[in-house]
A and B are shown apart, each in its own frame.
Chain A
């Protein structure tokens, strides 16, 4: 047994839990008791985390993984068709190969003018409504939501249904029955949508896949891409804006110096690491990791917020510095599952942060920093709301 359970509770909004930082100072690998009692491992060091993510001897299949928090237990079952994030090679490879041509650097560059239009129309609406405002509702969520809906071919007016169900699904307090009900609701909606794509194909990503995937597979792919396209960038935009508002020097650099933006986005990804509950992998055979023997069947949880603050990889890692070399962070993962949409996420952030800060130079929090509600209770970290004025 180990007394250690997965560290979640934070003392500061942007820093990893102090417990996790203290563990990293003792070493990279720790015995961890998972939420179902399984004795596995916690990784807090950068090089160990990176090597595990790239190693095919570690599986990502949910039936092999033990949950880090109780709420995840209900979701760790069979992989629905098309949910390739939770598959291993070569099953995973088939889906990834079908999709990766759609998310190349060049394709995402070609989308930039449209992302700019969407961003500016959100800012127009924000300005027209006047202060105060919740930036999650009026900026951080609608921009990636509009972009991914358009890319996939999901009618934007259907988003409310989807977003409500998603909120239930990613809330760690949600009971198993409610999560399954929310899962079925989204599945039913998308299944109907895919049926329409089949009968009336349009010029969008999902229509482009009707020949390659069967109905269930394409419904799963749509589910995964829609979920990933909403929850991630939205939380980076909300939490990143909050971090900049409390670091005025860094905010000014993002606003005023275009040469800072690209690397600044990498640094925000590293510093904020919104993936805070894993990922988890399971050893398919005995594997030695930095002198520790991980036995076949043992689960291994990576504490990415702490890993991305490892001083052996990033100097002065606890400081937000938009001009440091921030590349190599593991926020998008590493290995075969590294984020498919990462170039889209980068494009959205490179456009949205400076556009917001230039449009509203007087932007500031409308509440005291400790009143900003943090998403410690959600599977992806961020802010629930960001009340601002200008």
Chain B
């Protein structure tokens, strides 16, 4: 699994950082998504998919 994030559509709702803080953070000034890792560790994949489904703006996706 590889995660991509698009900060141009991110609206800083924080659902990703709330759901998987090990993988997603928010930038201090902008509030937009920051990827802490592009490839989740084993055991994080389901939570990453949940974060993708909770994102209100479609800013994160997995392939």
Contact = CB atoms under 8 A, between A and B. Distances in A.
Interface of A: 53-54, 96-97, 99-106, 108, 327-328, 332-336, 338-340, 342-343, 346
A277 to B, nearest CB: 21
A105 B34 CA distance: 12
A338 B13 contact: yes
Given A328-B54, A338-B11, 20 more contacts: A54-B58, A96-B12, A100-B30, A100-B32, A101-B31, A103-B31, A104-B28, A104-B31, A105-B21, A105-B26, A106-B17, A106-B26, A106-B28, A108-B14, A328-B53, A334-B56, A335-B56, A335-B57, A336-B56, A340-B13
A106 B25 contact: yes
Interface residues of B, number: 22
B44 interface: no
Q: Kindly list the 9 A-B residue pairs having the minimum CB-CB distance in the complex, ordered from nearest.
A: A100-B12, A100-B31, A338-B56, A101-B31, A104-B26, A105-B17, A105-B14, A338-B13, A334-B56
Most buried by A among B26, B31, B58: B31
Contacts of A343: 14, 18
B50 interface: yes
Contact of B11 (A327, A328, A336): A336
Contacts of B4: none
A340 B14 CA distance: 9
B25 to A, nearest CB: 7
Contacts of A53: 56
B29 interface: yes
Contacts of B27: 101
B14 A342 contact: yes
8 contacts: A53-B56, A100-B11, A100-B12, A101-B12, A101-B28, A336-B11, A336-B57, A338-B13
Contacts of A106: 17, 25-26, 28
A327 B13 CA distance: 14
Given A96-B12, A338-B13, A54 B26 contact: no
A346 B14 CA distance: 12
A336 B32 CA distance: 13
B47 to A, nearest CB: 11
B28 to A, nearest CB: 7
Contacts of B32: 100
Nearest to A343: B14
Given A333-B56, A338-B56, A327 B14 contact: no
A328 B14 CA distance: 13
A329 to B, nearest CB: 10
A50 B21 CA distance: 25
Nearest to A53: B56
Nearest to B25: A106
Contacts of B25: 106
Contacts of B54: 327-328
Nearest to B56: A338
B63 to A, nearest CB: 20
Contacts of A335: 56-57
Given A100-B30, A338-B11, A105 B56 contact: no
Most buried by B among A106, A328, A334, A346: A106
A340 B30 CA distance: 13
Contacts of B50: 327
